[in-house]
Structure 1
Amino acid sequence: MPHDNREAGQKTGSIDLSAWRSRAAKFETEIAKAVIGQERVIRLLTIALFARGHVLLEGDVGVGKTTLLRAAARAVGGAYERIEGTIDLMPGDLVYHTYLAEDGRPRVDEGPVLRAGEDLAIFFFNEINRARPQVHSLLLRLMAERSVTAFNREFRFPHLVVFADRNRVEREETFELPAAARDRFLMEISIDTPADADTRRQLAFNTRFHDGDSLIASIEEGILAYDKLNDVGRAIQTEIKTSDTLERYVVNLWQAVRNPAEAGIEIPGVDTARLVAAGASPRGLSYLVRAARVAAWLDGRTMAVPEDIRSVFFETMAHRIFFEPVYELRRDRIARELVDALFETVPVP
């Protein structure tokens, strides 16, 4: 399929996508000041924001997950709220909290989800896997519908994106996210310690990276104008086209990942006929295409190409593929091998 390399700079209604792409580049530059050596992670986070999807970061302790999400929240602008995942956290803690006032009488105030009202742009759930399943259920409603019911009324959050993180080391007093909750995240992004020696040296010896609050304060606020992102996201999805050839390619990938053995995919030590239990839903496929269109737009094209699909496939689809229990404990390795084999097996148009 020929590439369309025309500049994606047309105005869609009142949205100047060329100007917004410049804002996106500035956003990435600002975030890179706080989180060095993570260019791909920053690009994926940018794609998720313009695709209007929620993001889950996973990685070891101390690799910069929280710093990255805090920096992104500052650069997006709007109201930002945060809650810590703990084993004793209850669903009500997200929407209200009770306390004794100075006069000794009980009081009820709005919690972190409700406090900013419709201006809530980023809700950050730190260490989400430490929270109970009951909390995940409320979060699922918030992510799926951008609304919650409390105090006998419905609260809506039209500009909301949920950021969450979890570390992959500790397993005690943690709860695995249910499939429905994971499926609501547009992307699950892994963040690892930078391999580059110079970057590691800076992180260890440059005192700029030792004070997280000062680092975040150095990020320019409101680069992306949170209350405009929904309109920009819709304009991107309208402006960036897909060809019949690309659409067939995506459907072929979808079919192969659901039935890898039938597609001829082989993974050492894995019976691919018994590997996939469920997943790769139509919702996941639509998220994949949404993300790919944003990737194409960020690269200045008006048409998505196979490289755009491949560049976001793992982060948008792998967490939606559920393996049989015998393979689930080896998920990280097998998922990567499955996607690599998928790209090698399904012909690129």
Structure 2
Amino acid sequence: METTESTIKSLLSQLSLLKNEIQKVIIGQDQVLDEILVALLAGGHCLLEGVPGLAKTLMVRTLSQALHLSFHRIQFTPDLMPTDIVGTEILEEDHVTGKRFFKFNKGPLFANIVLADEINRTPPKTQSALLEAMQEFEVTYGGQTYPLDRPFFILATQNPIEQAGTYPLPEAQLDRFLLYVKIGYPTVQEEFGVLNSTTGSKKVKVNPILGGEEIKQLQDLVRDVTINDDLIHYVSSLIRATRPDTTTVPYVKEWVRWGAGPRAGQALILTAKSRALFKGRYAVLMEDIHNMVFPVLRHRILMNFKADAENVSSDMVTAELIKAIERSKVVGL
């Protein structure tokens, strides 16, 4: 038991080292980094949204450099085909026998960390090529199934302001992302740091901290973090209250078209456990749930036309839900 505890402490200390290593390059964006690392520990995928120039691609590339993991970047464009992502069969010849045969040539999806850059710039046909990989961690081609290496982590980026030539992600695809992370502008001090550190000749070296086996150990540990029944009841009440047909919250009935499904509750509990472990705790607190509820529900609550017209966002609905459920004392926490 002592060895196990010492191993856990060593892994947790390496987590803070990992974040420090990334912050050699990425200045600020502390909460964004936390959410990305929480998703990694939980074994899920992240959708990153932010205007151009906020270092979304650099953030993912730096993360890959700080890990002993393979990394591929896929630039999504309107002419990208599913085979450009998954791979394709090529005709080869056996030089000894002269016989020809088809061999599956793996695409860039076969890596531990995959950056799907500007994912909403490719048509749904190509976007859907990621669905099986994201959910089942495998790829099927020509009737043959090929397992993906674990850990497997997709980080997709999209630009919220330039909508010409883009294809909105379908709801089924959005639901496969564990977290929807929004990246905002830096503070005055952070922007000064960015300008000061990126316009000179000094190069920063990022050292790899964790390997694949260590990441898998941490992902297993996340599952062992405890959460009491009261908190599970609270999560269930929160998720069920997002659904207009069953909710008692007027705000939801007015603005929401579709609420979150059971996968949202699973995601909220899993990411709360992951955040607790990331903070060095082995039990989930209410603060973990409140911290993760926004990136978990952001893409799982579908707003109606009235909400779109009046700029009412899913984050605003989530904030109202938290207030309403705490007022109603659903679980007496």
Shorter-chain TM-score tier: 0.7 to 0.9
> Cα RMSD (Å) of the superposition?
2.8
Indicate yes or no: 2:210 matched with 1:219: no
Indicate yes or no: 2:257 matched with 1:277: yes
The amino acid that maps onto 1:235 is: L
Fraction of identical pairs, as percent: 28
The amino acid that maps onto 1:253 is: L
Deviates more, 1:257-266 or 1:240-249: 257-266
Between the aligned partners of 2:29 and 2:226, the Cα distance in structure 1 is: 29
Indicate yes or no: 2:235 matched with 1:255: no
The amino acid that maps onto 1:203 is: V
Structure 2 counterpart of 1:324, from 288, 294, 304: 304
Q: Which residue of 1 aligns with 2:313?
A: 334
TM-score normalized by the length of structure 2: 0.86
Structure 1 counterpart of 2:186, from 184, 194, 197: 194
Q: How many pairs are equivalent?
A: 317
Between the aligned partners of 1:153 and 1:249, the Cα distance in structure 2 is: 43
What is the CA deviation profile of residues 63-120 of structure 1, one whole-angstrom value per residue up to 9, with x for unaligned ones? 1111111111222222111110100001111133799xxxxxxx98542124xxxxx2
Q: Which residue of 1 aligns with 2:95?
A: none
CA contact (8 A) 2:256 2:301 kept: yes
The amino acid that maps onto 2:119 is: I
Structure 2 counterpart of 1:111, from 107, 115, 124: 107
CA contact (8 A) 1:258 1:280 kept: yes
Flag the structure with more relative contact order, 1 or 2, with Cα contacts below 8 A and sequence separation at least 6: 1
Instruction: Identify if the C-alpha distance between structure 1 residues 304 and 265 changes in structure 2 by more than 3 Å, giving closer, same or farther.
Output: farther
SS of corresponding position for 1:144: helix
Q: Which residue of 2 aligns with 1:81?
A: 72
Instruction: Identify if the C-alpha distance between structure 1 residues 22 and 13 changes in structure 2 by more than 3 Å, giving closer, same or farther.
Output: closer
Between the aligned partners of 1:124 and 1:18, the Cα distance in structure 2 is: 30
Between the aligned partners of 1:209 and 1:33, the Cα distance in structure 2 is: 15
Deviation at 1:43, TM superposition (A): 0.7
Structure 1 counterpart of 2:215, from 203, 216, 229: 229
The amino acid that maps onto 1:163 is: L
- Please list every run of 5 or more consecutive structure 1 residues that lacks an aligned counterpart in the other structure: 1-9, 100-106, 115-119, 267-271
Deviation at 1:124, TM superposition (A): 1.0
TM-score normalized by the length of structure 1: 0.83
SS of corresponding position for 1:34: coil
The amino acid that maps onto 1:28 is: K
Between the aligned partners of 1:34 and 1:329, the Cα distance in structure 2 is: 39
SS of corresponding position for 2:155: strand
Instruction: Identify if the C-alpha distance between structure 1 residues 18 and 337 changes in structure 2 by more than 3 Å, giving closer, same or farther.
Output: same
CA contact (8 A) 2:118 2:158 kept: yes
CA contact (8 A) 2:44 2:177 kept: yes
Structure 1 counterpart of 2:286, from 303, 306, 312: 306
Between the aligned partners of 1:111 and 1:257, the Cα distance in structure 2 is: 39
SS of corresponding position for 2:140: strand
Between the aligned partners of 1:130 and 1:171, the Cα distance in structure 2 is: 9
